[in-house]
Amino acid sequence: MIKKKVVFGSSMCPDCIVMKEALDERGVKYLYLDITENLANLKKFLKFRENSAFDFAKEKGSIGIPAMVINDGEKILFSIEEFDEYNK
């Protein structure tokens, strides 16, 4: 089964740029949505941010990006290391 991957990030976020480049190097197919580009992208991200997976970010006062949402919230990953582990 093909898993739909959406990565939420921002061009102003160094970790997001690193994750995007790493996914591109691995040849991963995904949709990248920059939450600082427009309100539609931000609203899509905020829908997922209600998930308990983001609790760590909220507790630290962080946004929670980069965030890779797999299959509309089935799994949410926050780093390329988590992605690599998930794909083992």
Which one, of 88, 3, 53, lies nearest residue 66 by Cα? 53
Domains of the chain plus CATH, in order, are 5-71 (3.40.30.10)
pLDDT tens by residue, 35-81: 999 999 999 999 999 999 999 999 999 999 999 999 999 999 999 99
% of the chain exceeding 70 in pLDDT: 98
Q: What is the pLDDT of residue 1?
A: 61
Q: What is the pLDDT of residue 88?
A: 86
Contact 52, 62 (CB under 8 A): no
Q: What is the pLDDT of residue 3?
A: 87
